[in-house]
Amino acid sequence: MIVTLQAGIGKEDARVEAVVALAEANGLAPQVREVAGANISVTEVYLTDGPKATAAMYPEHMFRLEGVDNVRRVTPSAVSLKAGNGAKPHHVKVGRVMFGNDLPCQLIVGPCTVDRHIDRLVGNLVSEHGVKFVRGGCWKPRSSAYAFPGFGEQAVEWLLSAAKAHGVEAVFLEVIDTSHLDAVRRIRDQVGYAGQIVLWIGARTGNLTLLRALGMQNEFVVMLKNPIDGSIGQWVTNAEFVVAGERYFDDDVRLDIQRSLRQGNDQILFCARGVQHHDTASLYRFAPRHDMIDAIRAGYWVPVGLDPSHSAGTMVNDLVIRNLEAGLVHLPAFVLLEVALDNVKPLCDAAQAVPLSRLRQVQKMIFRHNEVMGG
């Protein structure tokens, strides 16, 4: 845990002594460091396990002390995604646009799975609909070992080439293996795509090595879908691995603060996509759980969006669109929606794709929602 004092408070200040005293009283080992600049100095108190573990100390107790500016946890199980201390809402820059829980709802659209028609689709999205953000699955985690797993690197190349050709501001794509980070970097550089890339973690991925790897870089924003069968707690825990990054321990299994500290990636987004249910009579493929958006908005600083496609699972009776409309009530920071060309059958999740001929209706819905919320 690191306690940062307000700028200008020096090492010898009584307010630093109060932090040290409280830490010692809680069985922790405090170490004070001061960085003196030309005009101000910043003092931090690093708290490591003493007779008691830092995990047992509540950051709120430190926040209450006079002169404390910030309290951060550094171990993954305890990195605090909790909103608190009157902190401003966290904004994440995607392309040139800020995403945030207090900002207008953004729309990201594209195919479930990238295929050879992607250039035509992206061209239409940009020129006919003014779309800025495009999604596209390249590596697809499937529930059946025999199902099509996506075109992989070939799909990344198609998608980023189309994004470059049509001036897409940001591309969202899913990664399921650590090696995909380097593959995306390499293909982005080959293709020369200069826009933003958001890498997302799907509902079926809980790979901690991958989450840590995403936490050890800052060039890609990371979006985490909620675990398919998981709870909000599991979702937050997965995100903590990204926010914490890799940690290093010495031979005595003590956290090496120097090496571990300046890691982690807080450029993260959450996306609520519904959870597994067992009611075969329901039209919905997954239970929507839009309430997850409220829980995240209320308790955590991460911008949280909505994927109405996967829970509805079908456009029969316009289910995806009505599910989206219902989700807007919960004030998502963005909507991630699967769309398809009207005359081409998508490779995956065909039943839930919103045809392009309906996209304007969706855009109007979100535009009106933003107007009402902004006014």
Question: What residues make contact with ligand PEP under the rule CB under 6 A?
Answer: 112, 137, 202-204, 225, 273, 310
From CA 185, how far away is CA 40, in angstroms rounded?
39
Of residues 22 and 112, the one with the C-beta less far from Mn ion: 112
Q: Which amino acid is at 113?
A: T
Residue 273 binding: pick among Mn ion, ligand PEP, none (C-beta 5-8 Å cut-off by kind): ligand PEP
Q: Which of 149, 120, 99, 112 is nearest to 320 (CA)?
A: 112
> What does the block give as tokens for 277?
């249910």
Per-residue x/- mask for Mn ion, residues 62 to 101, rule CB under 5 A?
----------------------------------------
349 touching Mn ion, by CB under 5 A = yes
Of residues 19 and 306, the one with the C-beta less far from Mn ion: 306
Asked if 347 and 119 count as a contact pair (C-beta separation under 8 A), the reply is no
Q: Which residue spans within 313-372 are E strands per DSSP? A: 334-340, 354-355
Of residues 215 and 274, the one with the C-beta less far from ligand PEP: 274
Residue 134 binding: pick among ligand PEP, Mn ion, none (C-beta 5-8 Å cut-off by kind): none
Of residues 213 and 337, the one with the C-beta less far from ligand PEP: 337
347 touching Mn ion, by CB under 5 A = no
> What does the block give as tokens for 309?
């496609």
Per-residue x/- mask for Mn ion, residues 105 to 134, rule CB under 5 A?
-------x----------------------
Of residues 205 and 267, the one with the C-beta less far from Mn ion: 205
Q: What is the closest distance, in whole angstroms, from the C-beta atom of residue 238 to ligand PEP in the complex?
A: 12
CA gyration radius for the chain?
Answer: 23
Of residues 4 and 311, the one with the C-beta less far from ligand PEP: 311
- Strand arrangement of the beta sheet that strand 2-5 belongs to: 28-36, 41-49, 2-5, 68-72
DSSP reduced 3-state for 39? coil
Query: Whose CB is nearest to Mn ion?
Result: 112
> What does the block give as tokens for 149?
């797993």
Interface stretch with Mn ion, choices 14-22, 207-215, 238-246, 344-352 (CB under 5 A): 344-352
DSSP reduced 3-state for 124? helix
**Torsion angle of C-alpha atoms 238, 244, 245, 248, degrees rounded to 10:** -120
307 touching Mn ion, by CB under 5 A = no
| Residues engaged in binding Mn ion (CB under 5 A) | 112, 349
